[in-house]
Amino acid sequence: MASWARPWPAVTQHLEAEPLNTTKHLLGIDGGGSRTRAVLAEMTPDGQVTVLGRGDAGSGNPLLAGHRQVLANLDSATAQAFSALPDPSIIVDAAVLALAGAGAAEESALIEQWVTANPRLSAYRLIPDWQPVLVAGTPDGHGIGLIAGTGSVAFGATADGRTVKRGGWGHWFGDQGSGYDLGRQALTAAAHAADGLAAATRLGAAIATHFDGATPDAISTLLARHDNPRRAIAALAPVVLDAAADGDDVAVNITENGARHLAGLVASVANALALDDGYPLALAGSVVCENAAYRQRVLDTLGQSGPVPGTVTRVEEPVMGCITLARHELLNTNTAWRDHA
């Protein structure tokens, strides 16, 4: 089993490619806090890529879901992706796994064991889950990426190899502006209203409706018994955003604070990398990608503080960045790959 030990590349779609003699197979896996997605693709000798199969499973973060569950989710997602193939003997020539929380030594070793035990994988790389967003959402892998889904993180890379990451601290003391953060603040507001510490608003009623009429006490019990409380809390984000759109003061305040923090993460990355106005910005994650009003609030806030992005791209499938990296590895085996922080 080969593992590419080289660090994060400065990827470009326009590099001189090494010719291939045969069709190759690529596997990309994107594992975040809530979901693991796998894509199996075929690359012809001229470098053209066609997706053959997809798979979807639960969390890909071993620090959140636990080692056993993440391995089960990897098995499920990859099995679904391979199910489209009529030939069970096909071997993956290059696999890129982008998994949240897998950077620590113990978790990295866990993933290595899983890959080694899979006879269909011949070479792989393990990278953080935020890196493919830049590859999939910017012209050459340089610029800034922002993920706001269950969690939140911003990151950037320059053509000369400098990289910076901001946020990504997890739900214990981070993830501001994320789906989890919006949901947690909404539940706190509902609890305060139940305690008589704040006035009840339409947001509280919307939360109760979301939980089938449950009271705050019952909601607490439901979350305690949930197999993934973090995901259940993050699922409240659309409720908060809808309430904000309807003018609920509490919801408006929560979303404004969240957007301000996300914009601050992006601005911090831009300033740390000394980027000027016009850099490409890639957005990923359900909260910032699926709600136009929240996304625009983030961009408007960023525009007031700067530097201001140029092109803004929503990355609907970050896992395709993994496929691009795998393709890059096979086509450009002699290309220098730069160090990253």
Whether pLDDT at 14 is above 70 = no
The span from the CA of 60 to the CA of 36, in Å, is 5
pLDDT category at 4 given cuts 50, 70, 90 is very low
Are 24-138+317-339 and 166-314 in the same CATH fold?
yes
At 128 the pLDDT is: 79
Asked if pLDDT for residue 19 goes beyond 60, the answer is: no
What average pLDDT does the segment 48-72 reach? Answer: 82
Q: Does domain 24-138+317-339 have CATH number 3.20.20.70?
A: no
| Confidence (pLDDT) at 237 | 95
Contact 184, 199 (CB under 8 A): no
Res 40 pLDDT > 60: yes
Q: What's the confidence (pLDDT) of residue 20?
A: 65
Of the ranges 123-127, 186-190, 206-210, which one carries the lowest mean pLDDT score?
123-127
CB 44 within 8 A of CB 23: yes
Per-residue pLDDT tens for 95-129? Answer: 998 887 666 777 788 888 888 888 888 888 888 77
CA distance 193 to 186: 11
CATH number for the region 166-314 comes to 3.30.420.40
In the predicted model, what is the mean pLDDT of residues 63-69?
76
Residue, of 68 and 271, whose pLDDT is higher: 271
Q: Which amino acid is at 133?
A: V
Give me the pLDDT at residue 300, please. 94
The strands making up 24-31's β-sheet, listed across from edge to edge, are 2-3, 123-127, 94-99, 24-31, 36-43, 49-57
Between CA 75 and CA 78 the distance in angstroms is 5
Edge-to-edge order in the sheet of strand 312-314: 163-167, 152-157, 143-148, 281-284, 312-314
pLDDT tens-place string over residues 281-323: 999 999 999 999 999 999 999 998 879 999 999 998 899 999 9
The yes-or-no verdict on residue 47 having pLDDT over 80 is yes
Averaged pLDDT of the chain = 84
What is the reported pTM? 0.82
Note the pLDDT of residue 341.
Answer: 31
Domain map (residue ranges) of the chain: 24-138+317-339, 166-314
pLDDT confidence of residue 235: 93
> Element (H or E) spanning 51, and its range?
strand 49-57
